[in-house]
Chain A
Amino acid sequence: KNQVEQSPQSLIILEGKNCTLQCNYTVSPFSNLRWYKQDTGRGPVSLTIMTFSENTKSNGRYTATLDADTKQSSLHITASQLSDSASYICVVRAYGNNRLAFGKGNQVVVIP
């Protein structure tokens, strides 16, 4: 079983609307969690990083939340734009481990 599960697998939203992506993880002990954005044909780019003590962090129209007790994170996209069409990947690092656990990504398509 994958240590990082993301939902929904894919979604289509209208330009200007908001959406929320979910990430559940079982990685332990927890060190940090990153959300990456991967445009088609490109490598992933980090959007946010969250550590155990952080509950919410924003990067422009992207807001990530973390509940370390329930091992859940979300990424909220506000007022979506066509350029938000991408795969959003949740990545979790275990404490003391150089390896990362990757989710399969949420595929977001924004339509006009």
Chain B
Amino acid sequence: GAGVSQSPSNKVTEKGKDVELRCDPISGHTALYWYRQSLGQGLEFLIYFQGNSAPDKSGLPSDRFSAERTGGSVSTLTIQRTQQEDSAVYLCASSLGQGRDEQYFGPGTRLTVT
């Protein structure tokens, strides 16, 4: 079956512009995660959605970052007024639910802010 997909695969934007990153999780997976991976750094947790529960937004680095998950499936990560330090690979992962479930990662979106 299809894995987690993300679009676009690459995004170059000018400083100050807004960007939207999309994630299509595996069908039937109720949990969805967004991470940021900067060069030479580990994955940084951003936000977590679980079913209809309120999302865990505690990893979002500033109020310029927001995410939605519509209909319990597709998710969009929005970065407003992008800064150069936002340049990174943004990874989305989904899993069946809480507990020990394996997270399946998408290929990521490489964001470059010029």
Contact = CB atoms under 8 A, between A and B. Distances in A.
Most buried by A among B42, B44, B45, B105: B42
Given A89-B42, A100-B45, 11 more contacts: A4-B42, A42-B107, A43-B4, A43-B91, A43-B107, A44-B105, A45-B105, A98-B98, A99-B56, A102-B42, A104-B42
B29 to A, nearest CB: 14
A25 B6 CA distance: 31
Interface string B26-53: 0000010001000011111100101000
B50 A104 contact: no
Interface of A: 2, 4, 31-32, 34, 41-46, 49, 51, 89, 93, 98-100, 102-105
B106 A43 contact: yes
A49 B42 contact: no
Contacts of B100: 31-32, 49, 51, 93
Contacts of B56: 98-99
A98 B48 contact: yes
A60 B6 CA distance: 29
Contacts of B42: 2, 4, 89, 102-105
A67 B24 CA distance: 37
B108 interface: yes
A93 B33 CA distance: 14
Contacts of A44: 43, 91, 105
Nearest to B50: A98
